[in-house]
Amino acid sequence: MEKKNIDWSNLGFGYIKTDKRYVSNFKEGKWDEGAIIDDDMIVMSECAGVLQYAQTVFEGMKAYTTEDGHIVTFRPDLNADRMETSAKRLEMPVFPKEKFLDAIDQVVAANAAYVPPFGTGASLYIRPYMFGINPVIGVKPADDYQFRVFTTPVGPYFKGGVKPLTIKVSDFDRAAPCGTGNIKAGLNYAMSLHAIVTAHKEGYDENMYLDPKTRTKVEETGGANFLFVTKDNKVVTPKSDSILPSITRRSLIQVAQEYLGLEAEEREITLEEVKDMAECGLCGTAAVISPVGKIVDHGTEICLPSGMTQMGPITQKLYDTLTGIQMGRIKAPEGWIRVIK
- Site of interaction with ligand PLP (CB under 6 A): 60, 220, 223-225, 244, 246-249, 284-285
Q: How far is the CB of 286 from ligand COI (least distance, A)?
A: 3
Q: How far is the CB of 139 from ligand COI (least distance, A)?
A: 27
Q: Which of 62, 184, 217, 294 is catalytic?
A: 184
246 binds, among ligand COI, ligand PLP, none (CB under 5 to 8 A by kind): ligand PLP
25 neighbors 134 (Cβ within 8 angstroms): no
92 neighbors 10 (Cβ within 8 angstroms): no
DSSP for 221-272 reads -SS-EEEEEETTS-EEEE--TTS---HHHHHHHHHHHHTS---EEEE--BGG
| Amino acid at residue number 92 | M
67 neighbors 118 (Cβ within 8 angstroms): yes
Where b means 16+ CB within 10 Å and e means fewer, 26-54 reads beeeebeebebeeeeeeebeeebbbbbbe
**CB of 136 or CB of 252, closer to ligand PLP:** 252
Applying the rule CB under 6 A, the residues between 105 and 144 that interact with ligand COI are: none
62 neighbors 74 (Cβ within 8 angstroms): yes
Concerning whether 184 is annotated as a catalytic residue, the answer is yes
Q: How far is the CB of 130 from ligand PLP (least distance, A)?
A: 15
Binding mask 197-226 for ligand COI (x = CB under 6 A): --------------------------x---
240 binds, among ligand COI, ligand PLP, none (CB under 5 to 8 A by kind): none
Applying the rule CB under 6 A, the residues between 239 and 298 that interact with ligand COI are: 284-286
**CB of 268 or CB of 301, closer to ligand PLP:** 268
Radius of gyration from C-alpha coordinates of the chain:
20
**CB of 128 or CB of 328, closer to ligand PLP:** 128
Cα–Cα dist 220/237, whole Å: 10
Applying the rule CB under 6 A, the residues between 44 and 63 that interact with ligand COI are: 60
226 neighbors 238 (Cβ within 8 angstroms): yes
**CB of 133 or CB of 196, closer to ligand COI:** 196
Neighbouring CB atoms inside 10 A of 125's CB total 23
Instruction: Kindly list the residues in this chain that would bind ligand COI in the complex (CB under 6 A).
Output: 60, 223, 284-286
Catalytic positions: 184
